[in-house]
Chains A and B, each alone.
Chain A
Amino acid sequence: MFDTLQDRLNSAFKSLRGKGRLTEADIDATCREIRIALLEADVNLSVVKEFVGAVKHRARGTELSGALNPSQQIIKIVDEELVAILGGETRTIRFAKKPPTVIMLAGLQGAGKTTLAGKLGRWLREQGHSPLLVAADLQRPNAVNQLQVVGERAGVHVFAPEPGVTTAGGADQPTGDPVLVARRAMYHAQQKLYDVVVVDTAGRLGVDEELMRQAAAIKAEVRPQETLFVVDAMIGQDAVNTARAFAEGVGFDGVVLTKLDGDARGGAALSIAKVTGRPIMFASNGEQLTDFDVFHPDRMASRILGMGDVLTLIEQA
């Protein structure tokens, strides 16, 4: 087994010299390797196929240059295509002309929404905003407490009129209605002049129609400028199903990729960007409130391919 795409491609190209054009057989061999590399990085299969098709098309028309060997040349094409998809439309939060700006977080269970609410809160506060975090997850045990602690650490206020599921509130009984909390939060924010409202919601599965409707109802209530789909960078082939389900069920404007401090390749980034056409806006890369960054498409491309150094060299060639 070869560890890196570079090794794989070099072996596929053993017999080649950097002259003329690549033959169809060379391109096929390369594309097989690229396909495997992307699948091992958890890029969704349908996305891999389309992507490899595009690479093949470009590779056919390419003159080999002197500076790069054939495998490097193909890698360059692959990298450019990746960055084009990942960075299609980079942007950051759009603020409302008339405050408050509302940011709603949605995603699967355990993706990192509540943690992100704290990170966003801190980040916005540092930029001179006065954000309010809203505890609209009344379902997960102690989700409200968690947001309160996170808000305290971030130095931002938390609107939490309902305790949600806690020991005190009867552990089995979710209290209150998240849609109502959302509505009251908007009123509260207007009264108290918060200029950004970040709504934390319960984790939900794409296949859970009832909870998807609830998320849509929350959204209708707060009418966010930005609905962010929060997704774990470790997710596999299911990324596409889930992203589609959220796109259809709730609708989202941007993506936040979490747990990027791990060693997952994060091929889901490519799948989601490609399938939904929504930009990846932020990267969450740790459990601390400061572990938060805008998304860098070029770094993500190297990461998916597992070949940072090579790409730097190729850039320079």
Chain B
Amino acid sequence: NALSRGLLALLARDRIDEDTWEEFEDTLITSDLGVGPTTELVEALRTRLKVEGVADPGAARRVLREELLRLVDPTMDRSLATEPGTDANGAHVPAVVLVVGVNGTGKTTTVGKLARVLVAEDKDVLLGAADTFRAAAADQLETWGSRVGVPVVRGAEQADPASVAFDAVRAGQQGEADVVLVDTAGRLHSKTGLMDELGKVKRVIERTAPVGEVLLVLDATTGQNGLTQARIFREVVDVTGIVLTKLDGSAKGGIVVQVQRELGVPVKLIGLGEGVDDLAPFDAEQFVDAVLSEA
């Protein structure tokens, strides 16, 4: 593969020249890692190779993998807050997961797949269709609900999304659901009106139950704009985790490295297809190996 070829070429020369390093950076850039992290990674690698006097390609590759893994940080807490609780009066409070992101990243699908995972853990799950905007969005969520055997609370077409979310969480509380998953409409982070609306959805839910988990769904094909998306969504609704979808395609999703590093928000789940079982926990080592596989 290109990366090990690059490394081999690099190690075959007595003096590693700038062109070689550039070639090497290139292989990382095509994973959407970004110019900044790539430069940093290559710097770190250069230093280590020099200090440790690494000469064989196998060892150099291990060093690279280590450095990249360090950037992705396997020690981050990637667990999901899905345990219900009780309020000050001892009343049942469901865990609430709010799912947000720009248009078409896979929010509704992720809600469906996540419901499946939670049902398999014997949890009582309820879905809230707070996307009242996109054509047939609530129908889509309802189909997912019936796929995984979970009820859906929906409102009238073009209803206020905050009120639908409120109703869903209220229904979850009254029905003693363990988890309420709230799907929201896709919105570009640059649209302040829509972002304000999202902030309101969260605040209104919190009259009934704290939102323990806010998942930002990022599409793995997304380039450098993903970092801006994450930054602004975090400002508005305090994102607690990233779901990286469509990793079953050819995109590597390298932008999440910057997201994690700059915002400290961990990737928690990955989407690997359109089927009910195509959701998996994020695994830093697998992710790194995929980035390096044919970068």
Binding site for B on A (CB under 8 A): 36, 39-42, 44-45, 108-112, 114, 139-142, 145-150, 153, 165-167, 171-172, 205-207, 232, 234-239, 241-242, 245, 259, 261-265, 267-268, 287
Residue B35 at the chain A interface, CB threshold 8 Å:
yes
A102 to chain B, nearest CB (A): 23
Nearest CB in chain B: distance from A50 CB, A: 13
Please pick, from A36, A108, A112, A142, the residue contacting B136 in the complex, using a CB distance under 8 A. A142
Flag B204-226 by CB within 8 Å of A: 1 or 0 each. Answer: 00000000000000011111111
4 shortest interchain CB distances as A-B pairs: A236-B223, A110-B104, A42-B223, A149-B135
Chain B residue contacts of A264, Cβ below 8 A: 223-225
Interface residues in B10-59 by Cβ distance below 8 A to A read: 26, 29-32, 34-35
Can you sample 21 A-B contacts with CB below 8 Å? A41-B224, A108-B246, A110-B105, A140-B140, A141-B139, A141-B144, A142-B143, A146-B140, A167-B142, A234-B102, A234-B223, A235-B221, A236-B32, A237-B31, A237-B223, A238-B32, A238-B249, A259-B104, A264-B223, A264-B225, A265-B224
Known contacts being A39-B29, A146-B140, A236-B255, is A205 close to B222, with CB within 8 Å?
Answer: no
Bound complex: CA A239 to CA B221 (Å):
8
Chain A residue at minimum C-beta to C-beta distance from B29: A45
The residues of A that contact B134 with a CB separation of less than 8 Å are 146, 287
Chain B residues near A139 (CB-CB < 8 A):
274
Q: How many A-B residue pairs have CB under 8 A?
A: 155
CB distance from A207 to the nearest CB of B (A): 5
Contact of B228 among A147, A207, A237, A263 (CB under 8 A): A263
Per the bound structure, the CA–CA distance linking A153 and B135 in Å amounts to 10
Asked if B222 and A235 make an inter-chain contact with CB atoms under 8 angstroms apart, the answer reads yes
Q: Are B249 and A262 in contact (CB under 8 A)?
A: no
User: Given A141-B143, A153-B135, do A267 and B223 touch, yes or no (CB 8 Å)?
Assistant: yes
The distance in angstroms between the C-alpha atoms of A153 and B158, with both chains bound, is 14
B188 x A232 contact (CB < 8 A): no
Majority SS at the chain A contact face:
loop
Q: Complex Cα distance A267/B137, Å?
A: 30
A112 and B251 contacting across the interface, CB-CB below 8 Å: no
Cα distance A259–B104 when bound, in Å? Answer: 10
The interface residues of chain B lying within 8 Å CB-to-CB of A41 are 224
**Interface range on chain B (Cβ under 8 Å from partner):** 35 or more
B174 at the interface (CB under 8 A from A): no
Contact, CB under 8 Å: A206 / B249: yes
Closest-CB distance, B43 to chain A (whole angstroms): 15
Cβ contact within 8 Å between B250 and A207: yes
Q: Answer whether residue B106 sits at the interface, using C-beta atoms and an 8 A cutoff.
A: yes
> How far is it, in angstroms, between the C-alpha of A316 and the C-alpha of B61 when the chains are bound?
52
Contact B136–A145 (Cβ < 8 Å):
yes
- Residues of chain B lying within 8 A (CB to CB) of residue A287: 103, 133-134
B143 CB contact (under 8 Å) in A166, A232, A234? A166
Tell me whether B190 is interfacial, beta carbon within 8 Å: yes
Within 8 A of A (CB), among B67-86: none
Question: What is the bound-complex CA distance between A148 and B191, given in angstroms?
Answer: 27
Q: Check: B147 CB closer than 8 A to any chain A CB.
A: yes
Q: When chains A and B are docked, how far (Å) is the Cα of A268 from the Cα of B31?
A: 14
Q: Give Cα distance in the complex from A119 to B113, angstroms.
A: 31
Q: Residue B246 contacts which of A109, A145, A165 (CB distance < 8 angstroms)? A: A109
B136 close to A149 (CB less than 8 A) = yes
Contact B221 A236 (CB under 8 A): yes
Whole-angstrom CA separation of A239 from B35 in the bound complex: 17
CA distance A107 to B136 in the complex (A): 20
> At the interface, yes or no: B293 with Cβ under 8 Å from chain A?
no
Chain A residues lying within 8 Å of B142, measured Cβ to Cβ, are: 167
